[in-house]
């Protein structure tokens, strides 16, 4: 559960890449990058849980948890060590809050005829709501992947994973004890 902020940010980036595709030269690549970030966090979390559950004693549990925590935070350490890099300013909060403004939505509460304040190539204001049927094929696939990832995050990762971890931490030693 220590990576929940990373997972949430990857989901937000996936949704942004899908809904504001005109901001990217390669919107599918932007989506895939955010999706790979999502998968890396999920696999890291499951690896962390598996290592902790199979550790033979409490000292190994703590050492393995610390080792994986350092590995998962490595990108933050590298980011903090960079000083006068111009690209670093692009991902600081002051800049990305101004650049990554949501102009479009898939919300059901948004009306079909509402317009955003962003103009398209023809100089007309873009629709605020994006319908599934109006998306290109790649974005339809991306939206399905996003919704499945979001469903996994909300139903399994956020709610059931802590419960399953507690259950497995009790039953796995019992299973191996009975196998001997």
* pLDDT single digits (tens) 18-40: 877 777 788 889 899 999 999 98
Q: What pLDDT score was predicted for residue 161?
A: 76
Per DSSP, the chain holds a count of helices (H) and strands (E) of: 8, 2
Contact call for residues 128 and 115 (beta carbons, < 8 A): yes
Alpha-carbon span 147 to 73, nearest angstrom: 27
And the tokens for 173? 């030693």
Q: Which residues contact 48 (CB under 8 A, 6 or more apart)?
A: 64, 65, 68
Nearest to 146 by CA among 132, 126, 160, 165: 132
- Mean pLDDT throughout 102-117? 61
Terminal CA-CA length for the chain: 32
DSSP, collapsed to helix, strand or coil, labels residue 136 as coil
Average pLDDT over all residues of the chain = 76
97 — pLDDT class (breaks 50, 70, 90) = low
H or E segment and range at residue 155: none
Alpha-carbon span 134 to 176, nearest angstrom: 54
Single pTM value for the model: 0.71
Contact call for residues 90 and 98 (beta carbons, < 8 A): no
Q: What are the residue boundaries of the structural domains of the chain, listed by start? A: 4-179
């Amino acid at each position: 559960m220590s990576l929940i902020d990373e997972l949430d940010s990857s989901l937000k980036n996936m949704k942004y890449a899908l809904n504001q595709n005109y901001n990217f030269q390669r919107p599918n690549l932007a989506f895939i990058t955010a999706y790979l970030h999502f998968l890396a966090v999920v696999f890291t979390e499951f690896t962390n849980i598996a290592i902790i559950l199979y550790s033979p004693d409490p000292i190994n549990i703590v050492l393995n948890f610390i080792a994986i925590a350092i590995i998962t935070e490595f990108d933050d350490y590298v980011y903090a060590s960079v000083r006068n890099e111009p690209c670093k300013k692009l991902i600081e909060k002051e800049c990305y809050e101004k650049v990554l403004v949501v102009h479009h939505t898939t919300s059901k509460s948004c009306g079909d005829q509402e317009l955003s304040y962003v103009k398209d190539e023809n100089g007309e204001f873009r629709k605020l709501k994006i319908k599934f049927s109006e998306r290109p094929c790649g974005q339809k696939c991306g939206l399905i992947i996003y919704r499945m990832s979001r469903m996994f995050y909300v139903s399994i990762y956020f709610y059931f994973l802590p419960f399953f971890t507690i259950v497995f931490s009790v039953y796995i030693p019992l299973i191996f004890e009975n196998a001997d």
